[in-house]
Structure 1
Amino acid sequence: MDAIQQQMLDTYRATRLGEVPPPLPGRHDWEAVRDARDHLRRGAAPARRPGGGKLRRAVNRLLGRRGEGGRGEPSPRTSHQVSPRP
């Protein structure tokens, strides 16, 4: 069931019970975005795991990736590459 079908069913039930119909889908989306933005501006930073970047750097270093949080050091696997003979 998609949002429109659910809206139609909820509106039908509310009409049958004499209640106020629910708001249209998406009606309060921007209000929710503004509330979330204001919440973050008040200093409620998203929770971060302590040391979360260390694991990412270690994995990138082992995989030989550069510029993705690692220090740009070649991994042990790539350091044994054979250079061309003179």
Structure 2
Amino acid sequence: MSITQQHLLDTYRALTLGEPAPRAPGTYDRQAARELSDEQRSRAGRHGLRNALARWRRRPT
């Protein structure tokens, strides 16, 4: 069964039971990818700052 078929079946079941329809597959894919990218960038920035401070502390005076 494909994703589309499963979504249609779930939508039909929800309508017959009077429940809200499920979200379509892939609805939040872009948002999830953006959040993952932001998190990776944030981690890289923190480590970059930490490494720069460590190099600054180790430099000869």
The TM tier, using the shorter chain, reads 0.5 to 0.7
Measure the CA separation in 1 of the matches of 2:28 and 2:6. 16
Identical pairs, percent:
48
* Residues 34-54 of structure 1, C-alpha deviations (whole Å, 9 max, x = no match): 01111112217xxxxxxxxxx
Q: TM-score, normalised by structure 1?
A: 0.47
Measure the CA separation in 1 of the matches of 2:38 and 2:20. 30
Structure 2, unmatched stretches of 5+, are: 45-61
Q: Does 1:7 align with 2:13?
A: no
The structure that is helix-richer by fraction is: 2
Letter in 2 for 1:10: D
Structure 1, unmatched stretches of 5+, are: 45-86
Question: Segments of 4+ in structure 1 off by > 6 A?
Answer: none
Q: Does 1:25 align with 2:2?
A: no
Measure the CA separation in 2 of the matches of 1:41 and 1:10. 37
Letter in 2 for 1:15: L
Measure the CA separation in 1 of the matches of 2:20 and 2:35. 25
Say what the alpha-carbon RMSD is for the aligned residues.
Answer: 1.4
Deviates more, 1:14-23 or 1:35-44: 35-44
Q: Write out aligned runs for 1:7-86 (5 A).
A: 7-43=7-43
Q: Which has the larger radius of gyration?
A: 1
Structure 1 residue 16 displacement after superposition? 1.4
Q: How many residues align?
A: 44
